[in-house]
Amino acid sequence: MTTPIYLGIDLGTSAVKILAMTADGQVLAKERGDYPTLSPQPGWNEQSPLAWWEATCSTLRRLLDGLGGVEVAGVGFSGQLNGFVLVDAAGEPIGDALIWLDIRAADISARLNVEDGPLIKAISHNQVTPIAVLPKLRWVAEHQPDKLARARKLFLVKDFILWKLTGIQATDPSDAAATGMMDYKNRQWSPELCAMAGVDPAILPPIRRSDEVVGHITAEASALCGIAPGVPVVAGAGDVTALSVGCGVIEKGVLAVTLGTAGHVVLSEDRHPDGASGEVWELSHAVADKTIWLGLVMSGGLSISWLRSILQGMDYAEISRLAEASPAGARGVTFLPFLEGASTPYHQPEARAAFVGLSSSHGTGDMIRAVLEGVAYNIRECIDLFEAQGAEIHEVRIGEGGSRIQQWCQIIADVANRPVRLLAEMDASALGAAALACAGATGEPVGVVADRVVSLAGGFVPDPAAVKVYEETFHVYQEAVGRLMPRS
């Protein structure tokens, strides 16, 4: 008898990652398929939804061919937040999708916060930023009204692939909450916020539970992707919620740091964060009656990917070796990790990165270490912010691609002055998506499935000497940020 497997499809910023696991969490195979980001103007970042679909189908076929005759028992999704696709009456995308990195709506975002900020915060539980779908749609309404006039459906990133696989339009509360247009309390689209965006709520997807089976693989999709017709498909979750499940961030006190393109600092709580400052992002959890507190490091893993491109693709082992050869504090070099703007706790998308303290005596290792430390400092700011809001953190976990750099994990442990546990599966979002598929197909609670499939693999203990150095250099970093980017 064939063992049933569950597929997690993670539509990330640069690629789709697909993971196949058994019900007990054994990862049988992983594949990825890349797609480009287009930047037709500074601050504009777009992707082709058809490129997502083509990459998903080819990656699924490759994965399933490699596994042989397996029984797919369920499919779940994770997806980059705050991208959207408009589709016309013929079912064709109206141009490319604006993704989360697109900040063309910065001026509109600022205007909305001045004119309607308190109302937006009261309904959505988050302040609006240029990343969010709400101001992006407002920009389309003001600059490309013909597109909205032609639109019959709007899809968020993962939901476009769900539709292509099942013919069903649906989303989940975590993806909907991130748009800035959801009534957080009632888990429904807010008429007031949709009006601010300039969009008819009728074109938006119905909001369903993350682990709810919302459709099944169609015969047409089966022929393209290789999954058998009739396989159940759950709504899935935005990448932050999916990675929270894949990191086992279910009970209070467990915090996870993930180092994908963006860095995410996630904590599960039973209460809402204090909304006075608006510095903590709040997203719906896949587990009922829980909420996710999010600290967003815009250029987390992107910072080291950028540096690797300059260093002509230096491998991670060499990066870790060179970083280890430079002492804590990088011999006085400080990196401000704002290549694509600053999010938590600054909310300044126009901010940009900088090296501070460079001289001709510094080498490659010092710059690498400074980049790793700069991201770690921003992560610590998120942790400090959570604690200032009254959170009690008793365990820290780390995962995603950047965690393969062991020296980075150690630096984060030292900067945060906390033991850090390494997640066995780096692709936490894809694992979380597969866990949601398993929960939906079997009827088990999400927390029960997550507890079973998430495992840890070693850890990093703070080095007292490095901790002492970082207490000083963290303040140097904060002073440098204050000079570059004064907070209002």
Burial of residue 155 (number of CB atoms within 10 Å: 0-12, 13-18, 19+): buried
> Which residue bears the tokens 């009690």?
392
Query: Contact, 380 vs 373, CB < 8 A?
Result: no
DSSP state of 419: -
pLDDT tens string 424-463: 998 999 999 999 999 999 999 999 999 999 999 989 999 9
- Nearest alpha carbon to residue 440 among 158, 215, 243: 215
Per-residue pLDDT at 19: 98
Quote the tokens at residue 161. 């692939």
Cα 164 to chain centroid distance, Å, stands at: 22
Which of 134, 101, 133, 96 shows the shortest CA–CA distance to 115?
134
90-123 per-position pLDDT tens digit:
999 999 999 998 999 999 999 999 999 999 999 9
Give the Cα separation of 193 and 182 in Å (integer). 8
Taking the whole predicted model, whether its pTM rises above 0.85 is answered as yes
Residue 9, strand partner residues: 18, 77
Tell me which residue has tokens 């990133």.
Answer: 157
**Dihedral sign computed on CA atoms, order 397, 400, 402, 406:** positive
- H helix runs in 179-262, sequence order: 191-197, 219-225, 239-246
| 273: helix, strand or coil | coil
Closest listed residue to residue 324, CA positions, set 368, 390, 387, 268: 368
Q: What is the 3-state secondary structure (H, E, C) of 99-164?
A: CCCCCCCHHHHHHHHHHHHHHHHHHHCCCCCCCCHHHHHHHHHHHCHHHHHHCCEEEEHHHHHHHH
- Cis-peptide into 345, omega within 30 deg: yes
Per residue in 182-236, pLDDT (tens digit) is 999 999 999 999 999 999 999 999 999 999 999 999 999 999 999 999 999 999 9
State the pLDDT at residue 1.
55
Structure tokens at 34: 């890349």
Contacts of 192 (CB under 8 A, 6+ apart): 119, 123
> Any bridge partners for residue 189, and if so which?
182
Q: What is the DSSP letter of 4?
A: E
Q: Are the CB atoms for 266 and 391 separated by under 8 Å?
A: no
Bond preceding residue 49 cis, omega within 30 of 0: no
Residues in the chain predicted with pLDDT less than 70, given as ranges, are 1, 275-278, 486-488
What pLDDT does residue 198 have? 96
Q: How far apart are CA 350 and CA 371, in angstroms?
A: 19
